[in-house]
Amino acid sequence: MSVSINEARVYVAGALAAAANPEKAAGMQAYMKTDMPFYGVQKPGRTPILRRLVREFAPEDRDEYESLVLALWALPHREEKYLAQGVAVSHRQYMVPESLPLFRRMITEGAWWDFVDETATHMVRHLVINHADGTWPTVDTWIDDDDLWLRRSAIICQVGAKEHTDPERLFRFCERRAFEEEFFIRKAIGWALREYAKTDADLVAGFVNEHREELSGLSFREATKHISELVDR
């Protein structure tokens, strides 16, 4: 293997430790409501670490890509996992349908909104837009999965897709989970609809008007924040 996985791990852990801020770490941990340790290195401090990581430890094929991402993902601190995700997104040539199991793993193991939303809206979105035929058959099954984070990912994976959004699929997913009481699902429905409304307000308004009685108050409020004039009250 041309990329030294161990050297990459040592570099990441060392660079983050050198920039550590215990006071910020406590605040970040409290904000994320997690027991996972933080170094206290916020995104601006992680950016130069990621740039060097991408430049100096570039994988030469998809197998190296996956091994590198998983090696960083296995490190114990949250910022190390954020960098694993940064590496995953930075090497787009390896973001292909064969990498979907890797992204699924990040979703199910991450199991919290920061990890899940990054994976769904950057990695999975790239796949459903650029490799639809090889990706949607799997992502379609997530909408009924027992894992709420996979269900959330199915709903939000088109956030930011704009004109590349498959609206029929988006609306179908939202309608299918509209009955759920889980906050992260209700919020996901509202977010996904609100974002697509920036591309096609009339289409979203039509869906919301038709399904007003099925949508939760949270989903409805989120979905209609910027299209209230088009929505029946």
CATH of the domain at 75: 1.25.10.90
Let me know if residue 51 belongs to a domain: yes
* Cα(230)–Cα(177) distance, integer angstroms: 23
Q: Do the beta carbons of residue 81 and residue 39 sit within 8 Å?
A: no
If asked whether residues 71 and 134 sit together in one domain, one would say no
Tokens of 81: 């996992």
Q: Calculate the dihedral angle through the C-alpha atoms of 103, 109, 110, 112, rounding to the nearest 10 degrees.
A: 120
If asked whether residues 87 and 192 sit together in one domain, one would say no
Let me know if residue 107 belongs to a domain: no
- Residue-level pLDDT at 91: 97
Task: Kindly give, in sequence order, each residue whose CB lies less than 8 Å from that of residue 110, ignoring residues fewer than 6 positions away.
Answer: 81, 116, 119, 149
If asked whether residues 146 and 88 sit together in one domain, one would say no
Helices (H) and strands (E) counted in the chain, each on its own, are 14, 0
- Residue-level pLDDT at 230: 81
* Cα(192)–Cα(117) distance, integer angstroms: 12
Q: What is the mean pLDDT of each run of 10 residues along the chain (233 residues)?
A: 82 98 97 97 98 95 96 98 98 98 98 98 98 98 98 98 98 98 98 98 96 96 92 73
If asked whether residues 137 and 39 sit together in one domain, one would say no
If asked whether residues 123 and 224 sit together in one domain, one would say yes
* Enclosing domain of residue 226: 117-233
If asked whether residues 232 and 128 sit together in one domain, one would say yes
Structural domains counted in the chain: 2
- Residue-level pLDDT at 231: 84
* Cα(162)–Cα(195) distance, integer angstroms: 8
If asked whether residues 85 and 121 sit together in one domain, one would say no
Query: Residue 134 CB: number of other CB atoms within 10 A?
Result: 14
* Cα(232)–Cα(125) distance, integer angstroms: 31
Q: Do the beta carbons of residue 68 and residue 43 sit within 8 Å?
A: no
- Residue-level pLDDT at 1: 47
- Residue-level pLDDT at 3: 63
DSSP string across 50-117: HHHHHHHS--SSHHHHHHHHHHHHTSSSHHHHHHHHHHHHH-GGG-SGGGHHHHHHHHHHH-SHHHHH
Length of the chain: 233
Which of 205-212's residues contact partners 24+ apart within 8 Å by CB, and which partners? 205/230, 205/231, 207/171, 207/174, 211/174, 211/175, 211/178
